[in-house]
Structure 1
Amino acid sequence: MKKIRIVCIFVILGTFTFSCKKNFLDKAPGVDVTENTIFSSPTQLETYIASMYRHGIHHGFCTDDKSLTESISLDISAGATDEGEYAVAWLTSQYWNSASITASDIVNLEDYRFYLRWTAIRICNIMMERIGEVPGLQESYREQVIAEAKFVRALNYFEMLKRYGGVPIVNKRFQLSEELKISRNTIEECVNFIVNDCTEAAGALPPTYPSTMRGRVTKGAALMLKSKALLYAASPLFNTATPYMPLGENNKLICYGNYDANRWKLAADAAKAVLDWAPSGNCKLIDDKGVDVNYKYEWSTNDNEEIILANKSFGTRYPWDIPWAVMKPNTIANPGWGGLQATFNLVRKYEKKDGTPQTWNANGGNDLFKKYDELDPRFKQTIAYHNSYWNVETPVFNCIGNSIGHWMHKLIPSDLHNGAAQIPSWQLFRLAEAYLNYAEALNEAEGPVDAAYDAVNKIRRRSGMPDLPKGLSKDDFRKRVHNERDIELAFEDHRFWDIRRWKIAEEDGVMKGNFWGLKLATIPASSEIHYEPYIFEVRSFLPKMYLHPFILWEVNKGYLVQNPGW
């Protein structure tokens, strides 16, 4: 088998690259910080724990955190899916939409944290190796920190698994004098490694922390990551005898090499474990604010009870700062750099409040506001539509003549406006996802049993939507749960990965084919709006894009098996 050379020079140097911001290590004048310094006292250890989180806890949302890397991610993955379309042509999403992304630019265009992940993994391995040397450290806290390190290591491996398939497993700190040519491990080996780290971490992590320690991983976070890893492992991209493209003798680097229905059972059990943990972690669905508010409250209110884990490394950001500058529409006060438009492909997925499909006239109609009022309440809590409220600066949002008909409002607080900075709510895990993971996996393992219905219906009820109809077939239930994920998790960096793990990217209007918007026009002497569906773009998707390419200059070193087609 071919080999991969781990870029240890980046990892070794990166281990002691800390931010100068508060809560991270500031080097005192004339003091050299070494590993021995870090593990010389509990106080010094805390700086290393902070660095482990800073390097290792992240999300797919955009950030301008250039203190760790010169590369930045400016847009969210929604713009490369049927969720959205960026209003400018130069953002990363457009490379996916035109199928022009290459192995030379993958790091700068999507996976800008590739090298940082290896830094994070090395920090975790050093932590586990040397924490026993810290004097005066309570044994229970030592075990907790080891568990946190295992979680962070597992998270970084999961982020690579879903992008690349099998990657090299590094479970110890390497020295430059050691053999650094490490083979890619198989999908099965990587999944088992992630699951084992999560299982061990969950056994030593507390169910919750005091409010002053928000952002540190809990038992629930470890269980949630295990749930996600097993869900991806059970999904069609990996759980198959035939990979999406052949890789010869290396097929097991990109799939299991067989289909096993029990993988869905394991995923269901793991998701159920998250739901069982939730009460002890003071975690619950937000369902007490009203059906027209519950959903927005969850995504717009930091530190709410539904959040299992959030990235807490970012402070307040003004409207002209990243991430808001990239997300905000260029049509409002304090315009952004383009903004993310919501496609009609997404809007059509919203059911009516009675649970039936909304009917949209293919030739257009004169009842747009009526149709909006009939939709699932989550529509108005997610999408900026014509005449909707944006904020105090733009109380009436205009979509006529300047967009494809809709814009993303979710993720952008209404309280964000000129002079009013807000803290991004960068959520990695929330409880609603665990319910959806459970419903999907249980249906695949056992069919649409009552417990699967109950899980998805809890999500629907809190937004005022009726239960799914009884008697659905396994295939029909799958479609309904997939659609529920599309609505509930919209713009949260799920859709891009769900599309690939389900292997549906080549279906029309998903990541390929026709993408639709609405042309809007006023109607003389009427309070209604005329709408007309139209195709604003035809996108491309190549089968090789189901997994990322490894960076070209790493492949050219001769030790790395490139993913097929690249």
Structure 2
Amino acid sequence: MKPYYIICMVLLLFACQKDFLQMPISNTTTTDSIFSTTIKAQGAIANAYKIVLSQGLPYQGNWNSLIQDNASGALTYGFSWTWGYGISTSTGLTATGNTEDMDGYAYNFTTIRQAYLVKENIDKVTDMTDADKAIVKAEMTALIAYRYEQMVIMYGGVPIVSKSLTVNDDLSIPRAPVAEVMDSISSWCDAAAAVLPSVWTSTWTGRMTKSAALAIKAKALLYAARPLFNTASPYLDLGANNNLICLGNADAGRWQTAVTAAEAVIKEAENNGGIKIINTGNPLDDYGTATSTPANAEIILAFKYDAGGSSMNTFYNMHNWQAYGNGLTTSYLENYYKADGTDQVWPSSSTAFSDYITRMQAMEPRFKASFKAWEIDTWNNPNDNTWANSNLYQWAMNVAAVPVKFYYKAGTRNWFEFPIFRLAAYYLSAAEAYNEMGQSANALTKLNVIHQRAGLPAVTETDQAKLRTIIQREWAAEFFDENYWLHDIKHWKRADIGNGLIGGVIRTLHFNSDGGGKMTGNTDYNDGQMYLGFWAPRQYLNPFPQTEINKGTLIQNPGY
């Protein structure tokens, strides 16, 4: 069975509507026919959720899964025919091919148009109350804000579209400054949050809530406060157009704005939204549940599942990870702690394989919930033969471990619901902002909610620079494969981004005198270079496709 994903409300519509949900509004499916009744309009609403929230997820193709993890140096690049290979080792991102945006730039506006069409036409529905119509409009506004929040992080300033465009409209819309995009996202989210419910009935779990709208805003404002945008001097000079790639000044007040937004998410989620950090005192179970169990109490917004919907990448099928060659690098592995809170050290010279087993068994619960090690049954599905070592390995590879995140106690379930926003992100957002404001006590309070949930001893460091490093490490350990790390390290402008993160020596564990790890019978291992990663400063932001630049409206990001 392949995994399938779609917003959960589609499950509740009639089976005969499946084809309709794949069909864009066009001459054959007019707005008058679609918005004639509530049940038909729900199909258009569901489609808007599906295509908007799919951003960054490999639902359209099977061969380039986990591209963000490859591009960030978290996972090895797979094979030479994947996008990850060129991005990671030779060319980096390019305007003519290699990109980490699974949808492609232009598809953003296809999804935004769908949301606008729903927003503009929902009033035509005759059997829906005005109050419900207002909520639908707020949902679509939040979805538009979400897509823009994702775009501004990747590209900087982008064209702002204010309605569903037609062929009769002027489509030559230039890029808006970063500040204008950020202001638009904030305004849209505020407007949506004022109308959206705090919770939905179980029938409609997965739709936008106040917490979700506030989460979109808070994520955007966190990135606005980080060094890549929060500066008068952009990473590369774009002359008179520098406002397209930075905010034009360094303003410490943006950290206060970011922390206020993060605290608003926490307050609304916990007080009104029924959302909480899952902490029962069993770290493996708590983290596994928070990242893997559909509709769990920590999820603010997820990309939902439907067995008849659009297919997600088969990499996420637990048996197919090897088909894409993705494996954990030591460079990323070092973000995880041992279970006692100390650092693990991986030997650089040949060492008996039994040492690997010992060191892996000593790792923290978040690691064990996210990865499978050689010759060890999968920790996140204990005593389940489906996840036994003998059932998951097919050939030898040099990788530290392989990802199995999102499948905690999944058994034979191959699908999962991708967690777009978890409450934990806003505790770390607040911790980061408080630290940058010099409020270490507040930063530690927020950080330790997440750190101690992982079963680790409380962090007590108060030096700002050292605590910054700890908080960034926490982002890595807590949010592996949740589409944060690649853009986090860029927006932090990490000093080592070209020296072991994205570029430079990328390491992994090597087995059996470099012959690769095996299902059984491994004899030795060591930590060593996997490849030399490619990094160029132009990659702080993504390129716009050359085909879009050739139209003569958009200004390309510098260096491409």
Decide: shared fold, TM above 0.5: yes
- Work out the CA distance in 1 between the residues paired with 2:438 and 2:19: 48
- Work out the CA distance in 2 between the residues paired with 1:381 and 1:506: 27
Contact 1:306 1:430 in 2 (8 A): yes
Partner of 2:241: 250
Structure 2: which amino acid aligns with 1:480? I
Which secondary structure does the structure 2 equivalent of 1:429 belong to?
strand
Partner of 2:405: 410
Matched, 1:539 2:525: no
Contact 1:369 1:529 in 2 (8 A): no
Contact 2:66 2:481 in 1 (8 A): no
Contact 1:165 1:547 in 2 (8 A): yes
For 1:13-32, list aligned pairs within 5 A.
Answer: 22=18, 24-25=20-21, 32=28
Q: How big is the shift at 1:386? A: 2.1
Partner of 2:9: none
- Work out the CA distance in 1 between the residues paired with 2:321 and 2:250: 50
For 1:296-375, list aligned pairs within 5 A.
Answer: 296-315=288-307, 322-325=312-315, 336-366=322-352, 367-375=355-363
Partner of 1:294: 286
- Work out the CA distance in 1 between the residues paired with 2:479 and 2:221: 19
- Work out the CA distance in 2 between the residues paired with 1:132 and 1:317: 27
Alpha-carbon displacement from aligned partner over 1:24-60 (angstroms, at most 9, x marks no partner): 5489xxx953122233333332222122212212242
Contact 1:404 1:519 in 2 (8 A): yes
Q: Quickly say closer, same or farther: Cα 1:45–1:316, change in 2 above 3 A.
A: closer
Partner of 1:427: 419
Partner of 1:3: none
The unaligned stretches of length 5 or more in structure 1 are 1-18, 66-70
Partner of 2:388: 395
For 1:66-77, list aligned pairs within 5 A.
Answer: 74-77=65-68
Q: How big is the shift at 1:492? A: 1.3
Contact 2:32 2:124 in 1 (8 A): no
Contact 2:371 2:404 in 1 (8 A): yes
Structure 1: which amino acid aligns with 2:406? L
Partner of 1:68: none
Which secondary structure does the structure 2 equivalent of 1:532 belong to?
strand
Q: Quickly say closer, same or farther: Cα 1:32–1:516, change in 2 above 3 A.
A: closer
Contact 1:165 1:253 in 2 (8 A): yes
The unaligned stretches of length 5 or more in structure 2 are 1-14, 379-383, 514-520
- Work out the CA distance in 2 between the residues paired with 1:456 and 1:303: 24
- Work out the CA distance in 2 between the residues paired with 1:170 and 1:267: 25
Contact 1:327 1:340 in 2 (8 A): no
Matched, 1:270 2:261: yes
- Work out the CA distance in 1 between the residues paired with 2:439 and 2:523: 43
Which one of the candidate residues 536, 550, 554 is aligned to 2:544?
A: 550
Contact 1:317 1:424 in 2 (8 A): no
Which one of the candidate residues 132, 149, 154 is aligned to 2:145?
A: 154
Contact 2:37 2:125 in 1 (8 A): yes
Structure 1: which amino acid aligns with 2:415? I
- Work out the CA distance in 2 between the residues paired with 1:317 and 1:179: 34
Which one of the candidate residues 343, 363, 378 is aligned to 2:366?
A: 378
Q: Quickly say closer, same or farther: Cα 1:325–1:206, change in 2 above 3 A.
A: same
Contact 2:538 2:558 in 1 (8 A): yes
Structure 2: which amino acid aligns with 1:492? E
Alpha-carbon displacement from aligned partner over 1:462-504 (angstroms, at most 9, x marks no partner): 121011024x211111100000011010121111111111122
- Work out the CA distance in 2 between the residues paired with 1:357 and 1:436: 21
Matched, 1:440 2:428: no
Percent identical: 31
Structure 2: which amino acid aligns with 1:547? L
Partner of 2:193: 202
Matched, 1:231 2:230: no
Contact 1:384 1:407 in 2 (8 A): yes
Q: Quickly say closer, same or farther: Cα 1:20–1:547, change in 2 above 3 A.
A: farther
Matched, 1:499 2:489: yes
Which secondary structure does the structure 2 equivalent of 1:356 belong to?
coil
Matched, 1:56 2:52: yes
Which secondary structure does the structure 2 equivalent of 1:281 belong to?
coil
Q: How big is the shift at 1:322? A: 4.9
Alpha-carbon displacement from aligned partner over 1:183-239 (angstroms, at most 9, x marks no partner): 210000000001110111111111111222122111111011111000111111111
Partner of 1:102: 94
Bigger drift between 146-155 and 384-393 goes to: 384-393
Structure 2: which amino acid aligns with 1:346? Y
Q: Quickly say closer, same or farther: Cα 1:21–1:410, change in 2 above 3 A.
A: farther
Partner of 2:277: 285
Contact 1:214 1:312 in 2 (8 A): no
Q: How big is the shift at 1:81? A: 1.6
Q: Provide TM-score, normalisation by structure 1.
A: 0.86
Q: Provide TM-score, normalisation by structure 2.
A: 0.86
Cα-Cα RMSD: 2.8
Alpha-carbon displacement from aligned partner over 1:305-335 (angstroms, at most 9, x marks no partner): 11111111543899xx85233675xxxx667
Q: Quickly say closer, same or farther: Cα 1:24–1:434, change in 2 above 3 A.
A: farther
Structure 1: which amino acid aligns with 2:367? F
- Work out the CA distance in 2 between the residues paired with 1:304 and 1:394: 22
Contact 1:520 1:529 in 2 (8 A): yes
Which secondary structure does the structure 1 equivalent of 2:269 belong to?
helix
Total equivalences in the alignment: 524
Contact 1:73 1:112 in 2 (8 A): no
- Work out the CA distance in 2 between the residues paired with 1:552 and 1:22: 35
Q: Quickly say closer, same or farther: Cα 1:431–1:394, change in 2 above 3 A.
A: closer
- Work out the CA distance in 1 between the residues paired with 2:47 and 2:389: 44
Q: Quickly say closer, same or farther: Cα 1:190–1:63, change in 2 above 3 A.
A: same
Structure 1: which amino acid aligns with 2:385? V
Alpha-carbon displacement from aligned partner over 1:318-367 (angstroms, at most 9, x marks no partner): 9xx85233675xxxx66741342001112222223332322334335443
- Work out the CA distance in 1 between the residues paired with 2:490 and 2:375: 35
Bigger drift between 541-550 and 395-404 goes to: 395-404
Q: How big is the shift at 1:403? A: 2.3
